[in-house]
Amino acid sequence: MHRRAWLLVFGLSLMAAAAVPASRLEFDRRIENMFSKDDPLVIGFERLKRTFEGNAVVPAVYRDAAIFAPDGAGMRRLQSLVERLRKVPGVRDVWSIDQPIGTQIVSPDDPVAKRVRALFAGYTHGSDGETVAVLVVLHPQETAPVPWETSIAAIKDVMRTMPDGMVAGEPVMVAEGFRYVEQDGQRLGWATSILLGLVILIAFRRLRWVVAAILVVQAASLWTKATLAILDVPISLVSSMLTAIVTVVGIATVVHVIVRTEAARRKGHSDAAALHSALRQLVVPVFWAIVTDAVGFLSLLVSSVGPVRDFGIMMSLAAGWV
């Protein structure tokens, strides 16, 4: 087998080996990690979490015009919903309007029931008499048996069975926000790869250069993620643009190789000789360009914000893998 074929097999084997640790890499989804530890906002937020059980409350709301019907039909639906929500993994407790005095709450003539309904109006039910809310209390993120996003997805599935069911709250905003940012980062990475690949194809009219550029980008991204997972470096919201930045650095490097290789081919060199000539000319300038990129990213280590420092480490590793 030709040496180039062995190198291709070796590279693909490294990519396959990196796939397992790379798949274990997860976002640090704690919103307080987006700030410096001594930031007054973080100090206040931590105090809030200690006081209110980690601030892990998910209001689940639905519509039931018969919630306080004297026959108890609406209250039975509420109690059934509460029991289903309590079975969701990661749910610590569920609070609802029926808990203070039980089914007595629907009695139209009971003075205690009237006062309790008035007291909790706007919290567990709306003043319109048909909007119902239950407060789903999650375990704190640090001690939860499952990730918040898993619990929230299950809660949303339960609420879809209720009329106009929906969820809200800080845990939902954090989980959904990180999910959307992660999806956008992946979409941005593939979009930049495809668009720059089209530019290379139009400019140089050789499909193999497109394949080479995409392989460089995807391999560097995969190996970077695997390295981060092995080193246990946390990644946060800031790190979602990894693939897009690696695409810019990687394809810029590949384009330099393409230009020098094509120039050598036009002078009559064979494909292999042209590539060797290009690599000999570019190995030193590309090395120092990558080192410059890595040093620039490492300068982010002076930041007091953890995710910014982690981003600097991540991108310097990515530059090295490119």
3-state secondary structure of 147: coil
- β 131-138/91-95 pair status: antiparallel
Determine the pLDDT at residue 316: 86
Residue carrying the six token digits 């919290």: 123
- For residues 117 and 123, the answer to whether their CB atoms sit within 8 Å is no
Query: How many CB atoms sit inside 10 A of residue 278's CB?
Result: 21
Tell me the mean pLDDT in the region 132-161: 88
Rounded Cα distance, 190 and 146, in Å: 30
Determine the pLDDT at residue 175: 80
The pLDDT tens digits of the residues spanning 158-178 come to: 999 999 999 988 888 888 877
Instruction: Dig out the tokens for 68 from the structure.
Output: 């306080």
From 314, 301, 287, 309, select the one nearest 224 (Cα to Cα).
314
* 93 phi, psi to nearest 5 deg: -165, 165
Q: What is the DSSP string of 116-143?
A: HHHHHBTTTB-TTSSEEEEEEEEPPTTT
The pLDDT tens digits of the residues spanning 195-212 come to: 888 888 888 888 888 888
Highest average pLDDT, of 121-130, 157-166, 178-187, 224-233, comes from 157-166
Q: Report which residue type is found at 226.
A: A
- Which domains occur in the chain, in start order? 17-37+174-321 (1.20.1640.10), 56-167 (3.30.70)
